[in-house]
Amino acid sequence: MPDLTGKTALVTGSVQGIGFAIAKAVASAGARVALHGLPNDPKADTAVQAMLDAGAAQARYFAADISDPDQIDGLMAEVADWGGVDILVNNAGIQHPAPIADVPRATWNAIIAVNLSACFHTMQAVMPEMEKRGYGRVINIASVQGLIGSIHKAPYVSAKHGLVGLSKVAALEYARSGSKAKGGVTVNCICPGWTETELIGPQIEARAQQIGGDRDAAIADLLSEKQPTCRTSDPAEMGALALWLCDPVAHNVTGTQIPVDGGWTAQ
């Protein structure tokens, strides 16, 4: 496990799900953890305490609706005042499945704003400082939907493919920053398949209704269609991978898309 003492990690959308698990993983390595979520999230205080219990040097909750670029500017200024960002995890994301013909324009705009544009704004704010320090990690939580398409997910698939492209460009622009010893500045995408969080709840419920089964039957049906291992991932598994990417030993792992999808995209 890398020693992240003295490093600060900002994880967007981190009071629950994959973001919470990644924040907890970097906390366990001694990082200062900037948790983030929507204003007035009732889970914020518990999440901060969970970081301290896991070993974080410090933990604080920063509230901002990142569909609004002005609120992102405020968020990034507050975190800069708190000590800057060595590790940026763009995790917050939303999804509203519907056929293209039925996607409201507001839904398209919201998904592109949160799942893609917000990542650009946060990266733009922190990457020049990472370059000066010679160490930086940007870990963008894309999806298998950043690598392949699925019906009824046009805005989500578009945003995640965009995030993969944005990450490649950033990886190239910052490739020469830092050194092997310091760890360099790297940019990578983690591309999860089915992972047990609230995000996939509506899709599980819809499938349960479709097949007339319970939650377990719906998950088994969804997995058998796409994920060859027929096992879901736990958010903590994304945390373990993200933590490894933070190690200086991963200095030459940049510009990648790492699927954690049970073989979905190998087909």
**Total residue count of the chain as it appears in this document:** 267
Query: Which is nearer to ligand NAD, 177 or 226 (by Cβ)?
Result: 226
Cα→Cα distances 203→23, 85, 91, 148, 190, Å: 26, 34, 20, 18, 21
| 135 included as an active-site residue | no
Which residues inside 243-262 make contact with ligand NAD, applying CB under 6 A?
none
Structure tokens at 64: 């901002």
- Alpha carbon dihedral 98, 226, 255, 26, in 10-degree steps, equals 90
Give the span between the Cα atoms of 182 and 133, in whole angstroms.
9
For residue 8, count CB atoms less than 10 angstroms from its CB and return exposed for 0-12, middle for 13-18, buried for 19 or more: buried
Residues in contact with ligand NAD, counted by CB under 6 A, come to a total of 25
| C-alpha triplet 178, 124, 186: angle, nearest 5° | 35
Among 8, 188, 195, 254, binds ligand NAD (CB under 6 A): 195
Task: Please choose, out of 1-9, 11-19, 131-139, 173-181, the segment that lies near ligand NAD by the rule CB under 6 A.
Answer: 11-19
Query: Which is nearer to ligand NAD, 135 or 156 (by Cβ)?
Result: 156
Question: Binding to ligand NAD by residue 114, rule CB under 6 A?
Answer: yes
Taking the complex as a whole, the smallest distance from the CB of residue 201 to ligand NAD amounts, in Å, to 9
Structure tokens at 172: 């190239």
Give the span between the Cα atoms of 187 and 167, in whole angstroms.
6
Query: Which is nearer to ligand NAD, 141 or 170 (by Cβ)?
Result: 141
Question: Binding to ligand NAD by residue 192, rule CB under 6 A?
Answer: yes
Question: Binding to ligand NAD by residue 122, rule CB under 6 A?
Answer: no
Tokens 């939650």 belong to 215
Phi and psi torsions of 195, nearest 5° = -130, 135
Task: Please choose, out of 86-94, 96-104, 213-221, 251-259, the segment that lies near ligand NAD by the rule CB under 6 A.
Answer: 86-94
Question: Binding to ligand NAD by residue 37, rule CB under 6 A?
Answer: yes
Q: DSSP characters for 233-260?
A: BPHHHHHHHHHHHHSGGGTT--S-EEEE
Taking the complex as a whole, the smallest distance from the CB of residue 5 to ligand NAD amounts, in Å, to 27
Structure tokens at 206: 């819809």
Question: Binding to ligand NAD by residue 19, rule CB under 6 A?
Answer: yes
Among 51, 92, 111, 246, binds ligand NAD (CB under 6 A): 92
Query: Which is nearer to ligand NAD, 29 or 144 (by Cβ)?
Result: 144
Task: Please choose, out of 3-11, 76-84, 121-129, 195-203, the segment that lies near ligand NAD by the rule CB under 6 A.
Answer: 195-203
Question: Binding to ligand NAD by residue 66, rule CB under 6 A?
Answer: yes
* Catalytic positions, written as ranges: 156
Residues binding ligand NAD (CB under 6 A): 13, 15-19, 37-38, 65-67, 91-94, 114, 141, 143, 192, 194-195, 197-200
